Chains A and B, each alone.
Chain A
Amino acid sequence: MEISGALLPAIPAQGAGVGTSGQLALTVLMGVFLVAVFLALTRAEDWRTYTPLAGGGYGESGHHVRHKPEGITRWLTTVDHKDIGMLYGLYAIVAFVWGGLAVLLMRTELFTPSMDVLGAVAGGTNAGNALYNGLLTSHGITMLFLFGTPIIAAFSNYFVPLLIGADDMAFPRINAIAFWLLPPGALLIWAGFFVPGLAPAQTSWTMYTPLSAEQAGFGADLMILGLHLTGVSATMGAINFIATIFTERGKNVNWANLDIFSWTILTQSGLILFAFPLLGSALIMLLLDRNFGTAFFAVDGGSPILWQHLFWFFGHPEVYILVLPPMGIVSYVLPRFSGRKLFGFKFVVYSTLAIGVLSFGVWAHHMFSTGIDPRIRASFMAVSLAIAIPSAVKTFNWITTMWNGKLRLTAPMLFCIGFISNFIIGGVTGVFLAAIPIDLVLHDTYYVVGHFHYIVMGAIAFAVFAGLYYWYPIFTGRMYQRSLAKWHFWSTMIGTNLTFFAMLLLGYNEMPRRYSTYAFNADWAPLQTVELLHQAATLGAFILAFGQIIWLVNFVQSWYEGPEVDGDPWGLRDTSLYGREFEWHERRLQTAVTDGGEEDEVATDGGVDETAAEEAVADEQSDE
């Protein structure tokens, strides 16, 4: 991509356009690149001679088969689910930082009613507006597709095989391909910002046509391409998880004692399987409209509303794709600090499945105001109300689990409780929006922004933090600094509620979403209230950002200097709540100590360790 980047501005929308010399240069560069790849592969062949091919038979002890190359090559070539999980995690955190910085710029701009900060940065009011739109688009897409989906994949890659007693994913190489599609995808999505001569796409994450079909510039094309790649990646991952959970379960794991996190990942994968290919196709249709002269979404062609249907048929399941696994994390972690197993385990499983099915029947609640037939609209409202039930059931289960429990307010537990609290506000506002008469008033206001941020930030991100803290000892063998973690929690909790509650109120004041300025006529709107609420939201955003800095510092520093902990950092060993993943971790620690190194840990894999793995699987059902 760097190769093409420099030349892109020279290309007209249609036609080969790069002058002959340009073509020549590209060809040479591409040739050099391919030769380099070829050489790299030949070198790879060298280290691979230590390790026989799949069919080549394993040696007696089997330890050489587990050989991993050293240094960076290890990470570039790994097909080990745990390594890939770590890669997903790192990737998602980088995306989180970028998406967060983008929104801080936006919130800074919104501190005052008129266009000033971004205008000064970009040079002029119009350029400032364009920059705002670009940041808005990038923030949404980054947080949903480059942070949300991958951070969930980080957990599922690392833990699903451990929790179900599998050796690895069903298709380790496809797993690696799925990850490696993401970095190029991110580069393409962000290309508009850092490739000179390109402008960022200004389509917002929904990419509504005709705007997105007609917006000039390659920035939008590259973004759509990048999005398409991340969609391919998610689909590959989903197929892999379905195959893994169905076929790779250990002897002692069946549907009756499959843990709750794996259940949510299974459901999520099913949703991805039906939703993402549709997004991929719709994106390709959009690209064709933009570049190949088709008219799928043209006003006098297939109609712009077609895009909305296709997009939301994907888009609503997408929000559950994002929220189900975090619900699984909370259902998994919360009982461990409540001193009792999850209340109504099966209720949670069945309601997860119910959400999975029903989420495909509600998409047009995002389109209530587009003038679709009122009868059809009413059906979407009905199913949207029905889908609120399974979500509410889960909430009651979590609360009941804590009821009369022996609560231990560790950082992961705090984030779980924060999740529940925020999820209630986000869910209830969602039910309001699902009622047509209310939606017609609140649609496209900040109320919607408040609603879904209570879920995506207040719930999804909170559950992610709960998971990261809970499993930090497994990732690093060390413990984080508890007081910093509490600071992180409280600033995140306060920041989230300040920002997004202000947004709900802004919505009641009819502040429309997606505007960079709000210097209204004071006769139409309570300008002072609106300004005050915007300032509160900006303040909240900075409190949030402050909390995330603490979190990053804590994690990085503890990684190097945190106190080392044993296989039971949460004191659960003597209860029925000790998880399979921690048993695995404990075994890893013990074999590493007694046998003195990775290689030997591996050697035992065929013997003692395997027995242990099965025992681990048999144990721990509490994995609710």
Chain B
Amino acid sequence: MAPDVFDRETLLDLSVNVIPLFIILFFVGVFAVLPQFGYSLVPTLIQMALLIVPFVGLAILTYYSGKAIATSEAELEARERAVAGASAVEGSEETGELSEDEDAQPIEGTETDGDEESTASNE
């Protein structure tokens, strides 16, 4: 989870999955240091695998979903900036009114602007 991939914001979002990861890690430690039922090759191996496999699985999925979402966000922002340069930004209330009679009078440009704007601001 290199900082160059995720900004602070994203890391904060991802922290929600760090908690279960930490709990699992904690139990790996506990079971390794304080084995209540002794060590024995196969059971201990299974015991650890049952913790480590979900740990790795969750870490991988969190990483890739975080990356996908961060990338998409950057895309949205870039698009928004491009549009904002082209025309004035509509407030979201007006967007609502416009969409009311969009069929009678499709006003594509403005409509999209407002939308993109609110999209980004909601993130």
Chain A positions near chain B (C-beta within 8 angstroms): 252, 254-257, 341, 344, 346-347, 349-351, 353-354, 356-358, 360-361, 373-376, 378-380, 382-383, 385-387, 389-390, 393, 573-576, 578, 583, 586-587, 590-591, 594, 608-609, 611-612, 615-616, 618-622
In chain B, residues 82-123, which have Cβ atoms closer than 8 Å to a Cβ of chain A?
A: 92-93, 95-97, 99-100, 102-104, 106, 108, 111-112, 115-116, 118-119, 122-123
Q: Is the CB of A591 within 8 A of B96?
A: no
Which of A255, A351, A378 interacts with B16 by CB under 8 Å? A351
CB B66 to nearest CB in A, in angstroms, measures 7
Q: Is the CB of B17 within 8 A of A390?
A: yes
Q: How long is the Cα–Cα vector from A350 to B47 in the complex, in angstroms?
A: 26
Q: How long is the Cα–Cα vector from A254 to B65 in the complex, in angstroms?
A: 12
Contacts of B106 in A (CB 8 A): 608, 611-612
Q: Which 10 A-B pairs have the closest CB atoms?
A: A618-B115, A361-B54, A382-B27, A256-B72, A379-B50, A254-B72, A346-B13, A386-B20, A255-B72, A256-B73
Total count of chain B residues near the partner, CB < 8 A: 57
Q: Is the CB of B96 within 8 A of A618?
A: no
Q: How long is the Cα–Cα vector from A273 to B115 in the complex, in angstroms?
A: 35
Contacts of B69 in A (CB 8 A): 255-256, 346, 349
Chain A residue with Cβ nearest B26? A382
Q: Does B5 contact A (CB under 8 A)?
A: no
15 further A-B contacts with Cβ under 8 Å, apart from A257-B122, A354-B17, are: A252-B115, A252-B119, A254-B72, A257-B72, A344-B16, A350-B16, A358-B54, A373-B37, A379-B51, A382-B27, A393-B16, A573-B100, A576-B118, A612-B106, A621-B118
Q: Is the CB of B14 within 8 A of A379?
A: no
Q: Is the CB of B111 within 8 A of A615?
A: yes
Q: How long is the Cα–Cα vector from A583 to B95 in the complex, in angstroms?
A: 12
CB B108 to nearest CB in A, in angstroms, measures 6
Q: Is the CB of A376 within 8 A of B43?
A: yes
Q: How long is the Cα–Cα vector from A105 to B103 in the complex, in angstroms?
A: 54
Chain A residue with Cβ nearest B35? A375
CB A597 to nearest CB in B, in angstroms, measures 15
CB B65 to nearest CB in A, in angstroms, measures 6
Q: Could you say which of A350, A390, A573 has the most chain B C-beta atoms within 10 Å of its C-beta?
A: A350
Q: How long is the Cα–Cα vector from A357 to B92 in the complex, in angstroms?
A: 37
- Contact (A254, B16) CB under 8 Å given A385-B23, A621-B118, A621-B122: no
A and B contact pairs by CB, cutoff 8 A, 18 listed: A254-B72, A255-B68, A257-B123, A349-B65, A353-B17, A354-B16, A373-B37, A373-B43, A382-B27, A383-B51, A573-B96, A573-B99, A576-B118, A576-B122, A615-B99, A615-B112, A618-B116, A622-B118
Chain B residue with Cβ nearest A615? B111
Q: Is the CB of A574 within 8 A of B46?
A: no
Q: Is the CB of B103 within 8 A of A590?
A: yes
CB B94 to nearest CB in A, in angstroms, measures 10
Q: Is the CB of B36 within 8 A of A376?
A: no
Contacts of A618 in B (CB 8 A): 111-112, 115-116, 119
Q: Is the CB of B50 within 8 A of A383?
A: yes
Q: How long is the Cα–Cα vector from A578 to B118 in the complex, in angstroms?
A: 12
Q: Is the CB of B122 within 8 A of A619?
A: no
Contacts of B104 in A (CB 8 A): 594
In chain B, residues 32-61, which have Cβ atoms closer than 8 Å to a Cβ of chain A?
A: 35-37, 40, 43-44, 46-48, 50-51, 53-54, 57-58, 61
Q: Is the CB of A376 within 8 A of B23?
A: no
Contacts of A373 in B (CB 8 A): 37, 43, 46-47
Contacts of A346 in B (CB 8 A): 13, 16, 69
Chain A residue with Cβ nearest B103? A590
Chain B residue with Cβ nearest A348? B16
Contacts of A353 in B (CB 8 A): 17, 61-62, 65
Q: How long is the Cα–Cα vector from A193 to B44 in the complex, in angstroms?
A: 48
Q: Is the CB of B119 within 8 A of A257?
A: yes
Q: Does B1 contact A (CB under 8 A)?
A: no
Chain B residue with Cβ nearest A578? B96
Contacts of A361 in B (CB 8 A): 50, 53-54, 57
Q: Is the CB of B37 within 8 A of A374?
A: yes
Contacts of A375 in B (CB 8 A): 31, 35, 37, 40, 43-44, 46-47
Contacts of B102 in A (CB 8 A): 587, 612, 615
Q: Is the CB of A378 within 8 A of B31?
A: yes
Q: How long is the Cα–Cα vector from A621 to B62 in the complex, in angstroms?
A: 22
Q: How long is the Cα–Cα vector from A349 to B13 in the complex, in angstroms?
A: 10
Q: Could you say which of B14, B93, B122 has the most chain A C-beta atoms within 10 Å of its C-beta?
A: B122
